[in-house]
Amino acid sequence: MRKPNIVIYLSDDHGWEYLGCYGNADIQTPNLDRIAEEGMRFTHAFTPTPTCAPSRSTLYTGLYPARHGAMGNHTECHSTIETLPKLLRKLGYRVAIAGKTHVKPEELFDFEYIGGFLPKREEHRRKYRAEGLDTAPVEDFLSSHHKENPDQPICLILGDSNPHVTWEPNKMYDPDALSLPPYIADTPITRKALANYYQDITTMDSRIGDIDEMLEEYGYTDNTLFIYTTDHGSEWPHCKWTLYDAGIRLPFMARWHGEIPAATVIDAMLSHVDFLPTLIDIAGGEPSKQMDGRSFKRVLYGQQQTFRDKIYGTHTRDGNMNVFPQRCVRDNHYKYILNLMPENRWTTHFTEVEGIPESHAEVWNSWVEKAKSDPKTAELVYRTQHHPVEELYDVHADPDEFNNIVFEETSSSILEKMRADVQKWMQSQGDEGKPENE
């Protein structure tokens, strides 16, 4: 069998709950919804870490952060490990990336870099990110490779900066009509910000449609594994930089005409640590037993309905803005979170950064103000900023993870088991639980 092409569209900060095919009735994501219908949509895909560089480093190494070394954001991996570009090139692939990389050191992640981002647009007021993936160099790459090297398979990663802040100003959504998740306080400026976030996602979705047309035009339709996922959840409190599901649970869909059964929704639990071993397996290689992840190829083929019985999570820091290390284990029923520095008040860019219109501190301060007169908002603000040493959630009964059952008598055996599990996992990883200097 001819080796398949592999195309991965990797977005930035796209929470799993912000897609039409994942049940959001407000947002418009027609192209991603169609891709999900043409392939397999995972309901329980997770990143081991809800921060950009550590998550991407996991995708490209098959290792948890404590082992690849990039535990905090903007940190580097150990220079001695093997990564996706080298491993897939050994299997005959041309390995290229366009757009966002956010992994270091560069010599370790030696992708063929084929293109970057669109020019900045003044009206978008971008801060902390590039404008968005420029698809023109991607089209040039697909066209020229098909003409010049039609027999060589490609692994192409498309790293978009959508929907990372600063979000595109809303043009199509009615802020007052949007449903708010329980972790978002209802204020007028919050609704404007959420509409901007939705706009940024919809703009990205149209770009995915353009890429899909290119794949068809240049002959990459029939033997191409297309995967869409993101690095972690959205940049709202209780999401990115936390180990709650809104931070680590991800959209993940895979399409491969004739190989992956279409219109399939699967509850198999997987982790981004399994991503690279799976690509190696599909490419005809043997994933290293030194990796933390393992291949879920049989799940993709529809030959297996379950995969992991639990996932692990780790968060360390994002510069000095969010020094709040956590570790967790989650199975299909419960999640246990260990907070290693509970004395620290939880802060992130969202709560602290000024000067981003309709975003971040401007939104957060509206919550703080509303909390002075609204007990529900006051509880949300307090919960956001203060975390106990241990948290335990029944994710069936409490999917938003607001009701900590760690002190309930009926939870004691579950607590003891999951507490021991996290400690054992940390020891196996050589994880001392300390936020490293950056």
Domain boundary among 284, 309, 334: 309
- Domain annotation covers residue 436: no
- Domain annotation covers residue 438: no
How far apart are alpha carbons 23 and 41 in whole angstroms? 12
135 shares its domain with 175: yes
Choice among 93-102, 124-133, 360-369 with the minimum mean pLDDT: 124-133
How far apart are alpha carbons 17 and 437 in whole angstroms? 33
Choice among 77-81, 176-180, 430-434 with the minimum mean pLDDT: 430-434
- For the chain, what percent of residues have pLDDT higher than 90? 87
The yes-or-no verdict on residue 128 having pLDDT over 80 is: no
- Domain annotation covers residue 84: yes
280 shares its domain with 159: yes
157 shares its domain with 222: yes
pLDDT band per the 50, 70, 90 thresholds, residue 437: very low
Question: DSSP string covering 373-415, please?
Answer: T-HHHHHHHHHHH---SEEEEETTT-TT-----TT-GGGHHHH
- Between vectors from CA 182 to CA 410 and to CA 316, what angle results, nearest 5°? 75
52 shares its domain with 104: yes
- Domain annotation covers residue 169: yes
Which residue bears the tokens 């950056």?
438
How far apart are alpha carbons 44 and 226 in whole angstroms? 18
The yes-or-no verdict on residue 376 having pLDDT over 90 is: yes
The yes-or-no verdict on residue 436 having pLDDT over 70 is: no
305 shares its domain with 350: no
CATH of the domain at 79: 3.40.720.10
Span 127-139, mean pLDDT? 90
Q: Which residues have CB under 8 Å from 425's CB, separation 6+? A: 312, 327, 329, 431
The yes-or-no verdict on residue 438 having pLDDT over 70 is: no
pLDDT band per the 50, 70, 90 thresholds, residue 284: very high
- Domain annotation covers residue 217: yes
* Arithmetic mean of pLDDT over the chain: 95
291 shares its domain with 269: yes
199 shares its domain with 336: no
* pLDDT at residue number 121: 82
* pLDDT at residue number 134: 97
- Domain annotation covers residue 125: yes
- Domain annotation covers residue 231: yes
303 shares its domain with 319: no
86 shares its domain with 189: yes
Rg (CA), the chain: 21
User: Helix (H) and strand (E) counts for the chain?
Assistant: 13, 12
* 287 upstream amide cis, omega within 30 of 0: no
- Domain annotation covers residue 437: no
* pLDDT at residue number 358: 86
Span 92-106, mean pLDDT? 95
Which residue bears the tokens 């490990």?
81
Domain boundary among 262, 280, 309: 309
The letter for the amino acid at 437 is: N
Domain boundary among 260, 282, 309: 309
Tokens coding 153: 């398979």
The yes-or-no verdict on residue 1 having pLDDT over 80 is: no
- Alpha-carbon distance values, 351 to 323, 345, 413 (Å): 13, 11, 36
* pLDDT at residue number 258: 95
304 shares its domain with 321: no
Q: Which residues have CB under 8 Å from 105's CB, separation 6+? A: 76, 77, 79
98 shares its domain with 80: yes
How far apart are alpha carbons 424 and 426 in whole angstroms? 5
pLDDT digits (tens, 9 = 90+) for 384-434: 999 999 999 999 999 999 999 999 999 999 999 999 999 999 999 999 887
331 shares its domain with 242: no
Count of domains forming the chain: 2
Structural domain for 170, as ranges: 5-309
How far apart are alpha carbons 246 and 149 in whole angstroms? 42
